[in-house]
Each structure stands twice: as C-alpha cells, then as structure tokens.
Chain A
C-alpha cells in the first residue's frame, strides 16, 4: 500500500521545508510531492533539498490546478491513497495521519480536515480567523450544506485525504480557480463518501494571507455562483466504482 502526501506551494520558500520535514517525520512511509505552482522564489529548490519530489508548473495556474496536478500524479503513479496540506505551515503535519486513517479503514472516500468541528476536542484555541474569513466561512457552510444536504463545517479546508475514486474524479474535474467548495459539492453529487475530521490550525510561519475584505466579498460572490452552477451538473446516483490500479495509465 502506497501513500502520497502532496503540498501545493506558491512562493512558500520560507515554510515549505519545515512542512516537508514534518510530514516525513510523522508519515515516514509516505512519498512527498510538492506541486510548485509557478513560484518565482526558491520554493522548488527548498523542497528538493528537503527531500521531496517536485512537480513545477511552468506558470502560476491557481490552487485548483495545483491540487489537480497532485491528484493526477497520485493516480498516474498508482498510489493507493493520497493526502494534501498547505505549504504555509498552518496545518500540523501530524494531523494528516488522522485523516489518512479514515481512508485506510475505508470509512470514507474523501476526508476533510476541519478547523471548526469539535473545537474543544481539537484544542484549536491558537487559531483565530479574521472577521471576513468568518463571514465567508458561515456563508459557504450554509450554502454547501443546502446544496449537498450534508453538514460541512470547514468548506475551504486545504487539508484532505483521499482514495483512488477521488483521484480519478478530481484529476478529471477540478475547477482551476474555485477548488475547495466546488470539489466538495462534486464529490457528494458523485455519490462519494465525504467525511470531516477535526484538525488544529496554527498561525502562519511565513508569507501573508491573500484575503482582503474586498477580495473576500468577491470570493464569496463567485463561490455562490459556482455552487449554483454546480447544482445543475449531472448527478450520479450509484456510487463510483473503485478504480483498479492498472487502469489509470491505459486510460490516459
């Protein structure tokens, strides 16, 4: 059984090496891939030094395309399971193991690390989201729950674990600029089992968040349109068949 942990990174030279080291320490059996999304700093070099395989996109394509690259690599290189986390150091690498446990045990196809679920249990007091982020979170939470009829607390989480069904789906259909929400909606509509697991969230170790109030508002507006359009995509009633390991290469 092989596991890939991939880390989408865009100009995260300051923090990427520490994240890789954390993953390698906590998940020694997993391979680590950094998807360098057209970074203009030394992200790719730092990642290679830290012992990760690096897939460098020739130009910045957005988080969705970077994540899709990771899923595509996992599918093509015939990994059984994959997980991803952010490169900014906000996700404790040890929490990825908890997410992977769920897909290993086949309790879910896709597992989301939630910053907001069971706060007490996860002891996430060290993470305080900004106001605009809190508004965005509740709006998305409401509409995604409405759209999927399943309760989600953390719709924009960048920490996930998945099996091959999810790899097959996400490597084909993944919105380049609205990755997190649309992919959750898509997975649920395709009959995949999606589950949330509480994770902690740390303060950023490097770089700055891209969210300003105006951007947040636009982000929310765009997200709602994406969700609305997503409701009109064809829904699959029966669950997706498990994807055999040998099929991926031949199909491409």
Chain B
C-alpha cells in the first residue's frame, strides 16, 4: 500500500529492469507479428506503418523510461500514468476514426463496383433483346 502511494505521489517513473525487459519483449513480439502478417499477405504495407510506429513507441518507452516522464511534464500532467493512458487513448481513438474513414471509402467503392456489374448485365440484356427484335424484323422482310 505504501509502495503504491509512493508511486502515485512521485512524479518520476520507476520501472524495474524486469518490467522494462518484459515491455521491450512485448514490443519486439508485436513488431514481429506485424512483419509476419505482411509476409503472409494478411496485412497490407500501407496499413502497417501506423502499427510499426506504435511498436517503436512501445520499445522506446521500455528502453528510455525517462521519456515518459518528459512527455508528462510537457503535457503538464503530474501523474505519468495518466499521461500514458491519455496518449494511448487518443491514439486509439484516432486509429478507430481512421478505420471508419477507410471503411466508408471501401463501402462506397463496393457499392460502385456492384452497380457497374449490374449495369453491365442490364446492358447485355437490353442489347440481346434489341438483336432479337432486329432478327424478327429481318424475318418478316425475307
């Protein structure tokens, strides 16, 4: 309990080397996962950049614990945990919005694709009906 109190009251970040190693391992594993997904064509490169940046950020946080304190100071937040969660929350919010935008664009593209296909089929049908009509006319003349 006293340790917890000390942690919340102290503006400096105290990460044990054990936590740092685990955080770094998770960050590296995350980036390997991204690479693997690209390699298997499950993730396109253009959507992977943002995740790589996120992985690098995690790695930087683990390697230089002072960094987080500096960022918190810059934000004017005393509690580094609050700063950390705020940043992550905002990033995720931005990412979710980004995906909604991409989704909307793709929905519009899918609709247009469906329409183009439907028009193509209708045009074929109309053309063949016209041909049949012309053939009938020729039949009458001959």
Contact = CB atoms under 8 A, between A and B. Distances in A.
Interface of A: 31, 33, 35-36, 48, 53-59, 61, 65, 68-69, 72-73, 76-77, 176
Contact of A56 (B108, B121, B126, B129): B121
A178 to B, nearest CB: 14
Interface string B104-142: 000110010011011101110110010000000000000
Interface of B: 107-108, 111, 114-115, 117-119, 121-123, 125-126, 129
B122 A55 contact: yes
Determine the main DSSP class of A at the interface with B.
Answer: mixed
A65 B129 contact: no
Enumerate the 3 nearest inter-chain pairs by beta-carbon distance, A residue then B residue, closest first: A55-B122, A55-B118, A69-B115
26 contacts: A33-B122, A36-B118, A53-B129, A54-B121, A54-B122, A54-B125, A55-B118, A55-B121, A56-B121, A56-B122, A57-B114, A57-B115, A57-B117, A58-B118, A59-B114, A61-B111, A65-B111, A68-B115, A69-B118, A72-B115, A72-B119, A73-B119, A77-B123, A77-B126, A176-B107, A176-B108
Determine the main DSSP class of B at the interface with A.
Answer: helix
A56 to B, nearest CB: 5
